[in-house]
Chain A
Amino acid sequence: MILTRRKLYMLPTRHGLLFSLVLLVIFMASVNYNNGLAYGLTFLLTATALVSMLHTHRNVSGLDVRILSCNPVFAGDSAYFRVTIHNAGDYARAAIWLFCEDHRQLLHVEPSTTAQTEVPVTTGCRGYITCAPLRLSSAYPLGLQYTWSAPITSLARGVVYPRPAGTLPLPTNRSQAHFNESGHMLDGDDFAGLREYVPGDPPGHIHWKAVAAHQQLLTKKFAGEGTEQIWLEWEQTSGSTETRLSQMCKWVMTAEQADVRYGMTMPGLRLKPDRGDRHYHRCLHTLGLWGME
C-alpha cells in the first residue's frame, strides 16, 4: 500500500503546542514593544513551523508499505510478519516509527531502497493469522507536529500451529513392518544422492560444489536416515479436538527430535512416514488448519 495524501493525517505534538505558546509570548512582546524585528522573529518562527508541516508530510508520503508472509508459529507465540517499506523517492526518510499493536520500532529508509523488518503479532489460537494493522508515524524534522498513516492491512496470512501440549508418550508401534519402504539396510554414512535444501539441514551436509555450479542449495542425502518409523494416530489421543491436536503436535515435535521416521493418520487423511523439515511442517500445517478448510 502506497501512503498517499488521503491516507496521512497530521496533528501537533505536545511540543508543538508548547511552541505555539512561545510564539504567542513573542508575538505579545512584539505588539507591546512595537518592535518590527520582533514581529519578524514571530513570523519567521511561524512560517518555519508551517513549512515544517510539509516536510513532516513528505517524510512519510509516498512510502510503499507491504506486509509479506510470516513463518508458521505455535499458538501463543508471536508471529513475525515480514514488512517491506520501499522508498521510491530520491531523499532519505528519517525517524519513521512503525506501530503494530503494542510494538513500535524506529526505521530509516535511504533514497530508492527498501527497508525490511519484522513485526511481531501475538497469536491466540491455531489456524490462519493475518497481520494486525500497521501504522507509520513521524514527527521529523522539527518535532512540532506529527503525521500518521491510516491502518495498513494485508491479505497475507500465516499459519498458527496448535500449541504443543499433552502427556501421552510417543506411540511405540515400530513393529508394523509392512509400512517399511526401504528393503535393505544401508550404512549410515553412505552417500545416497542429492535433494533440495530444506531449512534446518546441517551445514555440513550442503553440497557446496553444486551450489557453485547451479546457484541452488542442495543437500547430500545419506542412507541410514529414518530407518525406524512410527505412526502417530488420531485414535490414540482423547479429549476435545483442540486437546487432541495439541497432543498430536507434541508427538510430531518429539518424533522429529527423536530422529525417527514418523507418519500421521487423521480421520480421512494419512501422511506417509518420513522425516525432515518439510515433512515436519506438513504435519504441523495439517494439524494447525484441521477442520478449517
Chain B
Amino acid sequence: MIKLFNLRSFRPPDRQPDRLACNWVLISAAMSIGFHFHHLPLWLTAFAACILLWRYFIENHAWRIPGRAVRWLLLLVSAVVIFRHYGTLLGRDAGVAYLALLVALKILETRSLRDYLLVVFLIYILVLGALLFSQSFATGAYAMMVILVSTHAMVRLNRPQPLVQRQTLRLVLTLIIQALPLLLVLYLLFPRIQGSLWGLPHDAFSGRTGMSEEVSPGSINQLHEDDSIAFRAEFEGLPPPPGALYWRAFVLSETDGRRWTRHRGPGDGSAGWRYQSAGPATAYTVILEPHNQKWIPTLELPRSPGPYSHRARGYILHANAPVRELRRFELSSSLNYSTGPLSPYETRHNSSWPLEPSRRVRDLLHSWRQHATNPRELVTQSLDYFSRDPFRYTLSPPLLSGDTLDQFLFETQAGYCEFYASAFVALMRLSNIPARLVAGYQGGEWNDAGNYMIVRQSDAHAWAEVWLYPQGWVRVDPTAAIAPERIELGAGALRRLEEQGAGIGLLSINEARRLIAPDVLRQLWQDLALRWDSVNNSWNKWVMAYGPRAQLELLKLLGVKTPNWVNIVVGMSLAILLLLLGTAALWMMRVRHKPDPAVKLFHKFCRKLKRIGVERRPDEGPSDFAHRVISTRPDLRSPVNHVTNTYITVRYGRLSSSGLPLLRKLVHEFKT
C-alpha cells in the first residue's frame, strides 16, 4: 500500500502547456482533418476549420473561451446535422465525420496536458480513418507527416521550458528513426489474421467498383475515360507482344438479343476446363486492385489455378472470395492452345439467338454463305465486311434502339469494341457457328522503371470467341480488323487520334504512331508518372498485398519451415527486445561523460590536502571543507579560501570560462 502511494507521488504532475504547444496541436489537428477533405462534406470541413481558427485566436489573441453551454450546443447541433447527412451513427464515413467534429470541439476546451494529449490521441484515430479510405503511397506519406507533427506537438506539450525548434524536431526525428527497425520487425512478423474479427460496416468497400458484368452495346453512347488502374502484371521474362495481351475476365454467352450476360447453366462450369497447350507456359503475377468481384484477369488461356482461387465456366479463374483488398496472384497461361470438342449442351447454348433476324441481316448472311464453304471462311468474310467502308470505329457512337443488330449493321455503322464483337457473335450464331463474347482488358502500358505492366480501366475490351473444328475455341477480335491501332498502340492512342480528328483505322500504324507521338513535355510527364507508379507498385507489394499469405512466404524465405504463431510471437518479441537493447547500447554509450575541468582541478587540490591528513567527506560542500581545513591549519586560511572561492565562482557562477585559468594557477601554486 505504501509502495503504491510512493509510486503515485513521484509521477511528474500535469502542467498547463504553453501557447506554442497549443499551436502545434492545432496544426496537427488541421492536418488530420484536412486528410479527410475528400471524404467529409464541405460544410463540415469549413466548420472544423472555423473552430480551429477560433481556438487559435483564444490562445494567441486572448479571446474568451466559450462557455460550457455554447460548446454543448455546438456539439449537439453539428452531431444532428451529420446524422441527417449520413442517416446513420455507424459506419466508416459517418464515423470519420463524428471523429473530425470531436477533434475540433475537444480542442476548443483544452486546458490541461491531459486534454491536449487526448486530442493528439483522437488525431491518431482520425489518421487511421483516412487509411481505411486509401492505402496508396501518397496517403502513407501524408499520414507519416501528420504523425511527425503530432509527435512534435506531444514533445512540446511535455516540455515546459521552450527549446529551440530545431532541437525538438531533431528529437522527434531521432525517435522516429530509432522506431523504424522495431516497426519493420513488428510489421513483418506480427501474426496477421485472415479475415475480419467482426462484420464490416456496409460502406466499407464503397467506391470500389470494377467492370460491369454485362454488356449491352448502344445503351451508353459515351465510353467513360477512366484512367484508374485495374491491375498490374509482372512477367517472368519478356512480356508477350501486344497482339497476345488479351486479359480474360469473364465470358458472356447468355443473351436476349441485346444484352449479354454470363451463363448460369448447371454446374460450376469447371468440368469443361480441358485444353491442350503447345509451347512453353508464360508465368506472370497479377497484382489486382480491389474490384469487389471474384474474377481474376488472366492471359488466354490460364493453366491450373493457384491457391485461393478456382476454375469457373469459360476458362475463367475466380478468387475464392470477392477481391476487396489489393491481391497478388501468381499465374501462368498457355498462349497457344486447342480446346478440342464441345459438348452438345455447350454447342446448343453457344449457337442460340433468341430474335428473328431482319430481312437485311438474312440477305447478308445468305450472300456470305454463297462464297464461304466452311465456318473459317465465314469468319474471314465477316471480318472483311467490317473492315470496309462505311464501318468506322468511334468511342462516342450513336445510340441504338429496337433491332440493334440491324440498326448497327445497316444504319449507324459506328461503334467501339463491344458493338463489333457482339454483332460478330450474333452473325456467327445466326450462321450456326458456336460463338460467345469475352470481356476483359486488352494491352497495357509497360513501365520500364519497374519492369511491369500497368493495365487501366480504359484498357477494358470486348472480343469474340468462335468454336472452329478442330482446334476448338478461337479468339476473333473484330476490333483488330477495323481499328488495328487499338491493339498495336493501345486504347489511349485511339483517344488521342480521335482528339486530333484523325479517322481511326485509316492510317497505317506507323503514321498513327507519328501523329500521336507526345511532345517533350508530355513525354517527361509520362516518364514521371511511370516512375511514381513504380514507387506505388513496390509500396503495394509490401503494404497492401502483405497479408497472411505473403507473411507465410516471407517466413519460409527466412528459413522457418513450419511456422506456428507461438514461435513467431516469441521470435518477434526477442527481436524487439534485442533491437531495443541494441539501440540503447549504441546510443547511450555514445554519450561522452567528460568531467568538468574545474572539478578535476578541485580534486587535485583535495588530494594535496589529503597528504596533510585533511580528507574531504564525499558529502561535504567546498566551503564546509574549507572551514574544516582552516580550523586545523589556520596558516593556510588565505590560499584555501582563495582556491575555494574561485572554484565556487567557476563551477556555479557565471564566469566559468574566465575563472578557469586562475583556478588552475591557484591549485598548481597551492602548497601545504
Contact = CB atoms under 8 A, between A and B. Distances in A.
A114 B652 contact: yes
A44 B147 contact: yes
Nearest to B622: A68
A54 B642 CA distance: 43
B624 A69 contact: yes
B645 interface: yes
A244 interface: no
Given A18-B121, A137-B11, A47 B179 contact: yes
Interface string A53-66: 11101100110001
B8 to A, nearest CB: 10
Interface stretch (A148-156, A184-192, A228-236): A148-156
A86 interface: yes
B576 A50 contact: yes
A51 B580 contact: yes
- B-side interface mostly: helix
Contacts of B584: 54, 57
A180 interface: no
A168 to B, nearest CB: 33
Given A18-B118, A54-B178, A90-B592, A38 B132 contact: yes
Given A51-B178, A156-B620, A114 B159 contact: no
Nearest to A40: B187
B182 A104 contact: no
Nearest to B584: A54
A114 B651 contact: yes
B356 interface: no
B193 interface: yes
Interface stretch (B336-344, B402-410, B539-547): B539-547
Q: Most chain-A CB neighbours within 10 Å: which of B12, B131, B576?
A: B12
Contacts of A143: 12, 113, 117, 154, 157-158
A19 interface: yes
B159 A58 contact: no
A95 B159 CA distance: 6
A29 B645 CA distance: 65
A14 B131 CA distance: 28
Given A69-B623, A112-B596, A37 B155 contact: no
Interface in B158-197: 158-161, 163, 167, 171, 175-176, 178-180, 182-183, 186-187, 190, 192-193, 195-197
Interface stretch (A20-28, A247-255, A256-264, A283-291): A20-28
Contact of A68 (B157, B544, B621, B646): B621
Contact of B131 (A37, A52, A57, A140): A37
Interface string A182-222: 00000000000000000000000000000000111000000
A39 B187 contact: yes
A33 B182 contact: no
Given A34-B196, A215-B642, A66 B619 contact: yes
B127 interface: yes
Contacts of B186: 43, 46-47
B10 interface: yes
Interface in A58-84: 58, 61-62, 66-69, 82, 84
Contacts of B143: 37, 41
Contacts of A279: none
A269 to B, nearest CB: 18
Interface residues of B, number: 86
B529 interface: no
Contacts of A104: 13
Nearest to B187: A43
Contacts of A156: 619-621
B187 A51 contact: no
Nearest to B179: A47
A128 to B, nearest CB: 13
A97 B651 CA distance: 22
A28 B446 CA distance: 39
A86 B599 CA distance: 11
Nearest to A102: B9
A67 B190 CA distance: 48
A98 B214 CA distance: 74
Contacts of A86: 596
B196 A26 contact: no
A266 interface: no
B670 to A, nearest CB: 15
B543 A36 contact: yes
Contacts of A66: 619
B543 A216 contact: no
Nearest to B646: A215
Interface string B130-159: 011001000110011001000100110111
B552 to A, nearest CB: 15
B591 A62 contact: yes
A95 B161 contact: yes
Contacts of B151: 48, 142
B264 interface: no
B149 to A, nearest CB: 13
Interface string A132-167: 000101111111001010000011100000000000
Interface string B598-625: 0000000000000000000111110110
Contact of B197 (A28, A84, A112): A28
9 contacts: A15-B113, A36-B545, A40-B140, A43-B186, A54-B583, A58-B588, A154-B619, A215-B646, A216-B638
Given A95-B161, A216-B642, 6 more contacts: A31-B196, A31-B197, A32-B197, A40-B187, A47-B183, A90-B592
